[in-house]
Structure 1
Amino acid sequence: MKLNLKNPLVFFDLETTGTNINTDRIVEICYLKIYPNGNEESKTMRINPEMHIPETSTAIHGIHDEDVADCPTFKQIAKELAKSIEGADIAGFNSNRFDVPVLVEEFLRAGIDIDLSKRKFIDVQVIYHKLEQRTLSAAYKFYCGKNLEDAHTAEADTRATYEVLKAQLDRYPDTLQNDVAFLSEYSTYSKNVDFAGRIVYDDNGVEVFNFGKYKGMPVAEVLKRDQGYFGWIMNGDFTLNTKNVLTKIRLRESGLVK
């Protein structure tokens, strides 16, 4: 089924040094940009993470330190990449929980505060888990009838994710709508304020903490009640994006910005 798009839709996948959103780095990225007219544009880049790639990660994606030693750093390709995804909606497999937060962190470290607030995000894994409960390789076999060759390479995983989404639309016409806004809403478990999901919107659209002793409490209320909590988060092991979001809420509540 051809996707019904109003904006370009960028499928992407990352291979990284590990699974810590705060500290790990990208070693490979592939994106597949689908235009409303059906045209495709794809690119795969290996990136020097400027840190050692642990052997446990190499065992998954097969990328060693020497493979990326002469590759550009993320900071060197950040502007080009940001321009490539400008104005596009975003899709991936487990992307809402991992790939998008990691990508945003890399942009922030590179000094680019990319605005994704108006984008739609489709997480094909969430759709799959809600309907079938499997992995990408199993999803590819189930929906597309093919084995996923070269699994855990960014390019293979990116294209497989695109094919799985189209097959999901064909298989569940009574459940899924061929509409990016619907798919974005359907593939989201919670309405995140920050990409790591530390702060979410409650049913009334109020920003609340989604972790710790203040879980479920409005952020604005907590900042007034416990002024040290802001400093604890700012000095803690939280993503740059989470800290930026919290700072904006604090400034807004103080009346310094609207």
Structure 2
Amino acid sequence: MHPLKLKKPLAFFDLETTGTNVVTDRIVEICIAKAMPNGQLNTKTWRINPTVPIPLETSLIHGIYDDDIKDAPTFKEVARPIHQFLEGADLAGFNIIRFDVPMIVEEFLRVNMEFNMQNRKMVDAQKIFHLMEPRTLSAAYRFYCGKELIGAHSAEVDTLATFEVLCAQIARYEGVLLNDDKGKEFQPVKNDVQALHDLTATKMVDLAGRMIFNEKGEEIFNFGKHKDRLVTEVLEKEPAFYDWMMKGDFPLDTKRKLTEIKLRSFNLKR
């Protein structure tokens, strides 16, 4: 039985991939440990044939080689059961906001499956860890759980370790007060998925973080020459920038969100 206070399932997950580029790399293993409101923890793991070679330097990190997955199903073949297992669940993991969530959403979009993030909360244990005790997952596991992480970079080991880390973080930090940049006290860590989502995941517009919300809740670019400028302003004054992004090496989710903003802006002016 786990100690998390949940109103809906919270799916901890970790990916092993061919690399770190969301656009060109592919998933080779996924583990999902779904924490249920009744205290149960249900775990499933899939090995996946990425249909592209795994670079040797990557295999040396996670221990999965081309021969290990040559007979495994492709993502398209397992997309539906993975999607069903995640149905109705919020998401949690270690560094999921910057990598794992954008990667899995991209994989679903490649096989023409919508993975709706609109009603899902995201909890990133790495952000809590870096806020309170800046280190790595292995160090986090040692610090919070008092154990050595044996078998790191296996999706199942990392997923279950992250689950234990988040539970320990809540036990340690719930009630601890910090001062924000204006000197006002606040309690960042609570045993509540909404509060943890607000702490770790609310600023992003797209999952790759190319666009974020500013303090006024407006979408701004988070990279390049237009960093910190309003997306609507750039699209209006420099429409060619939209075309450049749509033709560029950006994730499908980023292009989709940019198009949504463009269409919304256009409709407001009509």
Partner of 2:255: 243
Distance (whole Å) between structure 2 residues aligned to residue 167 and residue 114 of structure 1: 30
Segments of structure 2 that go 5 or more residues without pairing to the other structure are 177-188
Distance (whole Å) between structure 1 residues aligned to residue 196 and residue 262 of structure 2: 32
Partner of 1:206: 218
Distance (whole Å) between structure 2 residues aligned to residue 106 and residue 173 of structure 1: 35
What is the aligned counterpart of 2:199 among 186, 194, 197? 186
Distance (whole Å) between structure 2 residues aligned to residue 248 and residue 183 of structure 1: 27
Partner of 1:60: 61
The alignment's TM-score, normalised by the length of structure 2, stands at: 0.92
Q: Which amino acid aligns with 2:80?
A: K
Q: Which amino acid aligns with 1:73?
A: T
Q: Which amino acid aligns with 2:160?
A: R
Distance (whole Å) between structure 2 residues aligned to residue 210 and residue 115 of structure 1: 23
Q: Secondary structure at the match of 1:113?
A: coil
Q: Which amino acid aligns with 1:179?
A: D
Distance (whole Å) between structure 1 residues aligned to residue 75 and residue 154 of structure 2: 18
Partner of 1:89: 90
Partner of 1:141: 142
Partner of 1:71: 72
Shift of 1:113: 1.8
Distance (whole Å) between structure 2 residues aligned to residue 89 and residue 173 of structure 1: 20
Partner of 2:182: none
Q: Which amino acid aligns with 1:123?
A: D
Distance (whole Å) between structure 1 residues aligned to residue 8 and residue 256 of structure 2: 27
The alignment's TM-score, normalised by the length of structure 1, stands at: 0.96
Distance (whole Å) between structure 1 residues aligned to residue 114 and residue 228 of structure 2: 28
Partner of 2:104: 103
Distance (whole Å) between structure 2 residues aligned to residue 142 and residue 187 of structure 1: 20
Partner of 2:24: 23
Segments of structure 1 that go 5 or more residues without pairing to the other structure are none
Distance (whole Å) between structure 2 residues aligned to residue 163 and residue 107 of structure 1: 28
Residue 37, structure 1, aligned to residue 38, structure 2: yes
Runs of 4+ more than 6 Å apart = none
Distance (whole Å) between structure 1 residues aligned to residue 263 and residue 76 of structure 2: 28
Distance (whole Å) between structure 2 residues aligned to residue 230 and residue 117 of structure 1: 23
| RMSD (Å), alpha carbons | 1.5
Shift of 1:122: 0.5
Distance (whole Å) between structure 2 residues aligned to residue 191 and residue 74 of structure 1: 29
Distance (whole Å) between structure 1 residues aligned to residue 235 and residue 172 of structure 2: 47
Shift of 1:56: 0.7
Shift of 1:66: 0.9
Partner of 2:184: none
Q: Secondary structure at the match of 2:44?
A: strand
Q: Which amino acid aligns with 2:218?
A: V
Question: How many percent identity over aligned positions?
Answer: 54
Q: CA-to-partner distance for each residue in 1:137-186, whole Å, 9 max, x for gaps?
A: 11111111111111110000000000011111111122321000111122
Distance (whole Å) between structure 1 residues aligned to residue 220 and residue 15 of structure 2: 29
Distance (whole Å) between structure 1 residues aligned to residue 233 and residue 143 of structure 2: 47
Q: Secondary structure at the match of 1:255?
A: helix
Partner of 2:231: 219
Q: CA-to-partner distance for each residue in 1:93-152, whole Å, 9 max, x for gaps?
A: 011111011111101111112111111100001101111111111111111111111111
Matches within 5 A, 1:156-171: 156-171=157-172
Equivalent pairs counted in the alignment come to 257
Q: Secondary structure at the match of 1:10?
A: strand
Shift of 1:41: 1.0
Distance (whole Å) between structure 2 residues aligned to residue 101 and residue 117 of structure 1: 14
